[in-house]
Amino acid sequence: MRTHIPDATVARLPVYLRCLSMRAGTGTCSSQDLARTAGVNSAQVRKDLSFLDAQGVRGVGYDVDELRLEIRKALGLTHEFPIVIAGAGDLGRALANYGGFREWGFSVGAILDVDARKIGSRIGDSVVESMDDLEAIVAERNIEIGIVATPAIHAQTAAERLVGAGVRSILNFAPTVISVEAAEIRRVDLSTELQILAYHLQERSGN
Amino acid sequence: MRTHIPDATVARLPVYLRCLSMRAGTGTCSSQDLARTAGVNSAQVRKDLSFLDAQGVRGVGYDVDELRLEIRKALGLTHEFPIVIAGAGDLGRALANYGGFREWGFSVGAILDVDARKIGSRIGDSVVESMDDLEAIVAERNIEIGIVATPAIHAQTAAERLVGAGVRSILNFAPTVISVEAAEIRRVDLSTELQILAYHLQERSGN
């Protein structure tokens, strides 16, 4: 039986998981520790974690390894998710080589490009394949998540092809907005955190 | 006179800005529109925007261009921020070429590497320079923001060198935790959004 977890909590669970990963093997962790690292208050942490099976002990905290497992279970990260990356330019290559994916059960199922000069080249453990083979690859390898890492002008077309091939969730790294029916799309804007840093920098300069 | 804006609002302003950028030139935008796109409620939007000089009109909404300007002013994005990128591998190259930075006033002041084979190569409008010249480059070009795009094992050293050279704010893209005194560090974990997608995917499969 799965509990529905509110979206705002779902968005914070990966943050808690990241905090806990830094503490793997250290025993216990308090809601205050998690709150400080995640930038929320500890009542919020306790409320978020109340959706999981994890039980904190008053005055002691949560068992780190147990809480990691419960969060991974809640997020559905206990099985492997192969992903397909559309675009083998700098960004696609960087994502294919990114060390932070495997830890959470994501593996590069395929990286594709339309450019014949890139097809066949090796990136980490993968070999760039042709976008022409997208449909067959997605079906054979049972891929449900796609990453758009094309130039902005090709992002919409790439997303439509991914969804046409059966991909159900798309993460868009291209600096543009894409819109496709029948798939969930999330966008990563690499400049968002820079904007926050710039604000804090200016505020400190003003003081 | 600058108003202090709460951190949670600061974190949402770039999201509103992104929504508004999609509507540039469309006239007005209601708090409900912004709320829907940003994933918060409209009372929260109105509260967040109350920290700015922008005035919404009841039943009409906010003037898109005026609100963009006010958010940019609040975030300190009205002047140019040159950034230095440490690491000219796939990720550094992708960031140097990323079309989403310039729009918000960020420019690539320098991209540096320790690898002699990369130094001198061209990436977009930049030429890769040597990390040996970091101190001189930061001072001459008045750079306050650095991006760590090195492999995880070199990230801490790179961050320390950036701060030693005078950089005050660091965005860490390496999949590891770094810690440096006297600088603000924010981390971008490229797998966070994938984890949220995986949750929604599993939830839909369960229904």
pLDDT score, position B49: 92
- If asked whether residues B168 and B101 sit together in one domain, one would say yes
Tally of domains in chain B: 2
Of A54, A73, A92, the residue at which a domain comes to its end is A73
Name the one residue in this structure whose structure tokens are 């969730």. A169
- Residue B194 included in any domain: no
Q: Is B15 a residue whose pLDDT tops 90?
A: no
- Residue B192 included in any domain: no
pLDDT in tens, B36-80: 877 778 888 999 999 988 777 888 888 888 898 899 888 888 878
- If asked whether residues A115 and A88 sit together in one domain, one would say yes
Q: Is A157 a residue whose pLDDT tops 60?
A: yes
B167/B158 Cα distance (integer angstroms): 11
- Residue B100 included in any domain: yes
Rounded mean pLDDT of A199-205? 80
Query: Closest to B201 (Cβ–Cβ): which among A11, A39, A76?
Result: A76
Nearest-CA residue of chain B relative to A199? B75
**The pTM of the whole model exceeds 0.90:** no
- Residue A196 included in any domain: no
Instruction: Check if the beta carbon of residue A143 is closer than 8 Å to that of residue A167.
Output: yes
Q: Is A56 a residue whose pLDDT tops 90?
A: no
Q: Is B99 a residue whose pLDDT tops 80?
A: no
Chain B interface disruption, residue of A41, A194, A202, most B CBs within 10 A = A194
pLDDT score, position B73: 87
Of A42-46, A99-103, B117-121, B153-157, the one with minimum mean pLDDT is A99-103
Q: What 3-state DSSP class applies to A137?
A: helix
- Work out the minimum CA distance from B159 to partner chain A, whole angstroms: 15
Chain A interface disruption, residue of B199, B203, B205, most A CBs within 10 A = B199
B82/B77 Cα distance (integer angstroms): 12
- If asked whether residues A160 and A134 sit together in one domain, one would say yes
Which of A25-34, B35-44, B154-163 has the highest average model confidence (pLDDT)?
Answer: B154-163
CATH of the domain at B17: 1.10.10.10
Of A73, A93, A122, the residue at which a domain comes to its end is A73
- If asked whether residues A134 and A173 sit together in one domain, one would say yes
A104/B73 Cα distance (integer angstroms): 38
- Residue B133 included in any domain: yes
- Residue B198 included in any domain: no
Q: What percent of chain A has pLDDT over 70?
A: 97
- If asked whether residues B92 and B41 sit together in one domain, one would say no
Rounded mean pLDDT of A49-76? 86
Q: Is B1 a residue whose pLDDT tops 70?
A: no
Q: How many Cβ atoms are within 10 Å of B105's Cβ, its own excluded?
A: 19
- Work out the minimum CA distance from B125 to partner chain A, whole angstroms: 15
Chain A interface disruption, residue of B18, B101, B185, B191, most A CBs within 10 A = B191
Q: Is A126 a residue whose pLDDT tops 50?
A: yes
pLDDT in tens, B169-179: 999 998 888 88
- If asked whether residues A123 and A175 sit together in one domain, one would say yes
Residue B159 tokens read as 């961050």
- Residue B106 included in any domain: yes
CATH of the domain at B110: 3.40.50.720
Residue B35 tokens read as 């709320």
Q: Count Cβ neighbours within 10 Å for each residue of B45-68 and write b for 16 or more, e otherwise.
A: beebbebbebebeeeebbbbeebb
- If asked whether residues A85 and A182 sit together in one domain, one would say yes
User: Cβ neighbours of residue B14 under 8 Å, at least 6 residues apart?
Assistant: A189, A191, A192, A195, A196, B75
A42/A46 Cα distance (integer angstroms): 6
Q: What number of helices (H) and strands (E) belong to chain A? A: 8, 10
- If asked whether residues A182 and A85 sit together in one domain, one would say yes
What is the span of the domain harbouring residue B96?
81-187
- If asked whether residues B114 and B59 sit together in one domain, one would say no
- If asked whether residues B65 and B110 sit together in one domain, one would say no
- If asked whether residues B88 and B175 sit together in one domain, one would say yes
Q: Kindly indicate the confidence band of residue B207, based on its pLDDT and cuts at 50, 70 and 90.
A: very low
Q: What 3-state DSSP class applies to B4?
A: coil
- If asked whether residues B165 and B133 sit together in one domain, one would say yes
pLDDT score, position B190: 86
pLDDT in tens, A83-105: 999 999 999 999 998 877 887 88
- In whole numbers, what is the pLDDT of chain A averaged over residues? 88
- Residue A135 included in any domain: yes
pLDDT score, position B133: 97
A-chain CB neighbours of B145 within 8 Å are 194, 197-198, 201
Of A21, A50, A73, the residue at which a domain comes to its end is A73
B46/B174 Cα distance (integer angstroms): 36
B187/A178 Cα distance (integer angstroms): 25
- Work out the minimum CA distance from A41 to partner chain B, whole angstroms: 12
B-chain CB neighbours of A105 within 8 Å are 198
